[in-house]
Chain A
Amino acid sequence: MRSWLISLICSLVLACDTAAQQVDDVAPVAGDAAAVERPRDASALFAKLAEVKSLEARFVEEKHLALLAVPLTSRGRLHYQAPGYLARVVEEPEPATLLITPKTLRVTDRNGTETIDLRTSNTLRLFVTSLVRVFSGDEKALAESYAMRFEAPPGDATWTLTLTPRAAPLTEMIRALELSGTGVTVTTIVVREPSGDRSVMTIRDVDPQRVYTADEQRALFGITVSR
């Protein structure tokens, strides 16, 4: 799939995925979730996100689509590197990698590799900018595109952050993003589309201390590190 709008959507949805990874990233790797203080509000959550420089996690995604008789399930790994590099590596059922850098979107699957310059479309760039702002914990900028609602039941460590697009074209592509977590760990991301389709991504084995070597950075993110 090589298209301008598709990559745009891809960017948008990845933005949601990425947000999840980062929240995971700031959460403790182990320990009693109830003992960990959860963020008081969205601002506190974004403040934690801003502290993350790199992470790795595993994911399982289920897509419930009206077009398909049964949900599609994919499994793989997520890799994040500040500032704004994210690789979504699918291992099952079909190997595929989707990489976002500050300037490009690269899709690699059995059909080959496609690189799209995100800067050729302002709309596309808008979405990616949103993504970068999630990574950087830029709540103010995100608030320009999304309405945010942070809910946390009393006496519980769990919380939900719901991002609702404010205007088109975001509203035409996505109805809401729901990030759920415990403490400061994001455990689930639900993407709801206007059509009723939804995808549920469950995140586990988050390693917020993951440090990528120069070779890994080049292989995963296309970053050339000067030695």
Chain B
Amino acid sequence: MTTESRRVALGAIALAAVAVFVASRFEITNDITHFLPSDADSSRATWARELASGELSRTLLLVVDAPPGAEARDVAAIGAEFEVALRAEERVAAELAFLEGGPPVGVEAALWELYQPRRFGFLEDAGARTSDAGIDAALRDMRDTLATPMSALVSRVAPGDPWLVLPSVFEGLQSSGAEDIVIVDGRFLAADERAAVLFLGTRSASFDAAAMRPFIAGVQAAFARVDERHGGELALSFAGAARFALHAEAGIRSDVRRVSWGSIIGVTLLLVALFGSLRLVAITIPVLASGFLVGTAACLLAFGRIHGITLAFGAALIGVSIDYTIHVSCHQLLARDPRGARQTLEQIWAGLSLGAATTVVGFVALLVSSFPGLREMALFAAAGVAAALAATRVFLPSLMAVEPRVTPLAQRVVGSVRRIAVGPRGVLAAPVVLAVVVSAVGLSQVVWNDDVAGLQRLDPELLAEDAAVRSRVAPYEQGHLVVAVGADIDQALATNDRVALALRDAQDAGEVVGVRSLAALLPSPELQRRRDAVVREDETLWARVAAALAREGFVVDAFEPLRVELESPAPEPLLWSDVTATPMAALVRPFRVALGDEVAVLSFVHGISDEAALAVRVDAIEGAALVDIAGELGRAYGVYRERMTQLLLVGLLAVLALVALRYRAWRPTLVATLPALLAASTTVALLALGGFELNLLSLVALLMVVSMGVDYGVFLSEAGESGSALDATHLAVVVASVSTTLGFGFLALCDHPALFAIGAPAALGVLLSAVLAVTMRALVLRLAKSPRS
């Protein structure tokens, strides 16, 4: 076996090993929070990120509409039937964190047992309520109530609770519930009583498509069985993030397929047309496979799974990693070393290595980005490009034709570029001048879009269905939440005590219509202790109450339970863990979320009419905030985009340094780098003039433009001033840029906004880079040779 054969065999074995690894570990995700900063500067942005991706997003609302005319009890029965079907469905049960189709059983008993012994801890305004005036007012109210049919309950509660604290707590329970849901026969129904309502929670994140796919399929299968039993007259509607994730995943898969096949077919046609043989296409396969597989493997190793956007980006990278094959092939075609392909490769290896190195260095700058998604793309690109270069060295010389033939088309391309390169100065200067003018005009008109929603593609039908379900049964704002954050739940509850007062004031001021708060049901332990102490430690209280009772015509002895309670030691306050150990857990669970290492108690609001005033009121409380999820993420995005720009500049400087280090002269350094930089600025300007908004991913695309543009510049700088090597390089730059533009052009045609954000600038920028690299190099050379210079 020759050295070349051994090299190819070893390369093939290594490639196969990577392929096996990728196949065994391959897992795709579509979590859009991958493209949210992981170490947000502001706590608000962190909260917004956690709220967008955390426990709240794992809840699904299911609404089953009964046929018109169905009685409420029949609708309730359908809800019960569907719940049974859901629990029996294996794919649902495996993923189910909770399923509630009605209020929890035993909640009334739990309420009594938990609250009755601790009632003083729930006495709001305890100081005023236990004053003489407060006692008189309480007794008058009680007397009035006793005169009504309500006396049956009051007379049971009042002897130990003349302030009627427990009924107030029950009121808090009622107001903490979803207002547009009614209960019929123990089942949740929409207020119009025509649809059963169920709440489901999943164990996995809603963006975990692998987990959500069977789960949603299971829900639909369970519904189909119930629907069949009811003659196919039922209708199921969803609200929740899971289906959006599945839809996005399906879309991205489709996009990836389209980009991959488009790139492969396009590049194949291009190569066959230019080189007249499928052999060149065949020999690119190991190079492309190496780039793609190694990039994927690196991401799987580093992150455990790969994001769909990265995968699509990787598919586009096919067009990039093929550049090395093209460059080698063009030299083998037009400027080959008579000793063989390996020697031809050796002649251009320095340029290839430098080109690859500039690409890798450019992307390495992104590795320190705060966005997991960008780090993933950077790793994919750096590892993939390096692997493609290595595969070029390992595989290509052995697989290339010894004497490839030059097709007429290739000859025409070479001739055309040569004519341009030796053409009039004006022709050479025109693209450069035009690029400078366009940049000067367009750069000032760039509009940055930092809305994270702009990176997602939400199906309008699903969006409408989601909105309809929420407005029907859960009208509270999804995008605005009031958070009370603490190191632990007790601290968060203490903050929430203050939040509740602020929200009550906000309601009174008309800033918000409705509020769902946990405060009445579970004040902080500290507040409970304080209130209890006000009542229990007042040694004059019983005497004052007794005197007031006598004045108001009550039998004082009947209130003996109050006297006994006042003399008893204070009970331990009610804790979160006490409540969650009872059937009441289902009632309080939606209010608590983990925000990183902290705990937040949420308050839900609806009908915000004065967001600014509400925000001022809430934000004045330490540890609390009105979180506008989209707004906060957008602001964080803006900050990170600026930081990303700085990172990219660092990357560019590194690329420049690398090139300058290689040439140690300003002219070739300029020829290698300036076209790419001008192409990037022109691309931005053109997109801005075309009315396109740019985002964070556009920056990534620009980095690619610069990296690949510098490759072209480097190849041309290495090619010498004339002769077959320059012709070969010209051909290589044209073919490479067209093939890359094909890859990114297909990406730009994708439905997914994030893929478009990468594809459009990359395709445009790479094409401009090639044009400017060829013309600027010729122009610089011409100027260098002019008499004046």
Contacts and interface: CB of A to CB of B under 8 A. Distances in A.
Given A72-B147, A93-B147, A169 B152 contact: no
A82 interface: no
Given A12-B152, A122-B185, A197-B155, A4 B170 contact: yes
Interface string A109-134: 11100001101111101000000000
A117 to B, nearest CB: 7
B155 A2 contact: no
Q: Interface range on chain B: under 10, 10 to 19, 20 to 34, or 35 or more?
A: 35 or more
Contact of B152 (A66, A121, A123, A173): A173
A155 B555 CA distance: 43
A10 interface: yes
Contacts of B182: 117, 119-120
B569 interface: no
A127 to B, nearest CB: 11
Interface string A81-92: 000000010100
B152 A9 contact: yes
B611 interface: no
B147 A1 contact: no
B256 to A, nearest CB: 48
B155 A66 contact: yes
B153 A74 contact: no
Contacts of B181: 120
Interface centre among A3, A93, A116 (most CB of B within 10 A): A3
B154 A1 contact: yes
Interface in B145-190: 145-156, 158-159, 164, 167-168, 170-171, 173-174, 177, 179, 181-186, 189
A98 to B, nearest CB: 6
Nearest to A196: B155
B502 to A, nearest CB: 22
A199 B151 contact: yes
B153 A68 contact: no
A120 B177 contact: yes
Interface of A is mostly: mixed
A14 B149 contact: yes
Nearest to A7: B150
B558 interface: yes
Contacts of A199: 149, 151
A1 B186 CA distance: 25
Contacts of A98: 148-149
B144 interface: yes
B231 interface: no
Contacts of B108: 5, 123, 169
Interface in A138-191: 169, 173-174, 191
B173 A94 contact: no
A120 B174 contact: yes
Given A17-B149, A98-B149, A193 B155 contact: yes
B148 to A, nearest CB: 6
B141 interface: yes
B146 A67 contact: yes
A200 interface: no
B261 interface: no
A68 B555 contact: yes
A69 B170 contact: no
A6 interface: yes
A119 B170 contact: no
Q: Interface range on chain A: under 10, 10 to 19, 20 to 34, or 35 or more?
A: 35 or more
A82 B146 CA distance: 28
Contact of A13 (B145, B150, B159): B150
B232 interface: no
Interface string A56-67: 000000010111
A63 B152 CA distance: 10
A121 B183 contact: yes
A128 B184 CA distance: 12
B553 interface: yes
B103 interface: yes
B554 interface: yes
Interface string B97-108: 000001100001
A195 interface: yes
A72 B183 CA distance: 35
B183 A120 contact: yes
Nearest to A197: B155
A35 interface: no
A94 B141 CA distance: 11
A225 interface: no
A96 interface: yes
B559 to A, nearest CB: 8
A68 B146 contact: yes
Contacts of A30: none
A63 B145 contact: no
B147 A119 contact: no
A70 interface: yes
B155 A65 contact: yes
Contact of B150 (A6, A74, A94, A123): A6
B173 A66 contact: no
Interface in B130-154: 141, 143-154
B183 A65 contact: no
A94 B144 contact: yes
Contacts of B171: 2-4
A125 B183 contact: yes
A74 B149 CA distance: 11
Given A67-B558, A120-B174, A195 B155 contact: yes
Nearest to B550: A69
A36 B617 CA distance: 70
B655 to A, nearest CB: 65
Contacts of B168: 2-3
Contacts of A110: 144
Interface centre among B158, B183, B553 (most CB of A within 10 A): B183
Nearest to A103: B182
A72 B173 CA distance: 31
A148 to B, nearest CB: 20
Contacts of B186: 122
Contacts of A66: 155, 555, 558
Interface in B532-551: none
B183 to A, nearest CB: 4
A63 B147 contact: yes
Interface centre among B102, B168, B174, B184 (most CB of A within 10 A): B174
Nearest to A98: B148
A9 B170 contact: no
A4 B179 CA distance: 14
Contact of A67 (B173, B174, B555): B555
B183 A69 contact: no
Contact of A2 (B102, B158, B167, B179): B167
Contacts of A10: 148-150
A13 B149 contact: yes
B149 A88 contact: yes
Contacts of B193: 119
B150 A68 contact: no
A74 B147 contact: yes
Interface string A19-46: 0000000000000000000000000000
Contact of A119 (B150, B153, B154, B183): B183
A111 B144 CA distance: 10
Interface string B464-490: 000000000000000000000000000
27 contacts: A1-B141, A1-B150, A3-B171, A4-B174, A5-B108, A5-B170, A6-B170, A7-B150, A9-B152, A12-B152, A67-B146, A67-B155, A67-B158, A67-B555, A69-B554, A90-B147, A96-B148, A111-B141, A116-B174, A119-B182, A119-B184, A122-B183, A122-B186, A169-B108, A191-B152, A195-B155, A199-B149
Given A67-B555, A67-B558, 18 more contacts: A1-B164, A6-B154, A8-B153, A12-B149, A63-B147, A67-B559, A68-B555, A70-B553, A72-B146, A90-B147, A96-B148, A111-B141, A119-B182, A121-B183, A123-B108, A191-B149, A197-B152, A199-B149
Rank and list the top 9 A-B pairs by shortest CB-CB distance, nearest first.
Answer: A119-B182, A3-B167, A13-B149, A9-B153, A122-B183, A9-B152, A3-B170, A4-B170, A4-B174
